[in-house]
Amino acid sequence: MIDALPWTGWAVAVLVALLVGFSKTALGGLGLIAAALMALVVPARDSTGAVLLLLVTGDLVAIWAYRKHADFRVIGRLLGPVIVGVALGAVFLGAVSDQVMRRTIGAILLVLLLLNLGRNRLRADSRTAAAGYGGLAGFTTMVANAGGPPMSLYLLATGFEKWRFLGTTAWFFFTVNVIKLPVAVGVGIVRADTVALWAVLAPVVLVGTWIGRKVVGRVDQRLFDRLVTVLVVVASLNLLLL
């Protein structure tokens, strides 16, 4: 796979690695855009496996960088619904086409965003909200690697400030991605070729995490919330229209 990539393919792959790293320490919505770009230059199955390895690399940096800011009570509250969502996603993945599933997820995310913009903040300890958003995050990460937008919407709706938001998402997605790794190996999307591609791109991910860490420190809370909201919209439209 590496030998077959033209220079344009390598340029896109390097951009993807930068975006993955940046998304892990700054703006998570870029992760879905990075996954879509990788699929343009690498076969779909290989793309999914390679991006997963890059995400875990970025996760490791993020959980260290924001180790003092994670809300583990919220993470624990979400994990149960996430597992249920992953299981439901696996069932529906075999029942409908990829295009139908992506468009369905995009539509759901846009509806949730509109509801969030038109209501008061959720209580962080609301089990109903955690079950709904956690289940949707598990469902979407299973069928489209799109767990970030539901998680972002939940944390924005509960009023998480910037650093608590980043720390909680870092540990949440590290846990989810590590759970997904053995499954990815089992179904053959992580193998020697994808590991070789990851080995080349992993240092670029580290550069992206460094850039993200520098940038996010200069962004105030209101702008951060707006940027996250915009990226959720972009990710949703990407799923809905492409």
Top mean-pLDDT range of 20-24, 45-49, 141-145: 20-24
Q: φ, ψ for residue 228 (rounded to 5)? A: -60, -45
Asked if pLDDT for residue 124 goes beyond 60, the answer is no
Render pLDDT for 91-112 as a digit per residue (tens, 0 to 9). 776 777 767 766 777 787 787 7
Cα 219 to its chain centre, rounded Å, is 21
Q: Higher-confidence residue: 163 or 96?
A: 163
Q: Exposed, middle or buried by CB within 10 Å (0-12, 13-18, 19+), for 232? A: buried
End-to-end CA distance of the chain: 25
Three-class DSSP category at 2: coil
For residue 10, the model assigns a pLDDT of 92
Residue 15's pLDDT band, with cuts at 50, 70 and 90, is very high
Tokens representing residue 42 in the block: 């690498």
Buried b (16+ CB within 10 A) or exposed e, 175-190: bbbeebeeebeeeebb
DSSP result, 92-119: HHTTS-HHHHHHHHHHHHHHHHHHHHTS
Contact 107, 159 (CB under 8 A): no
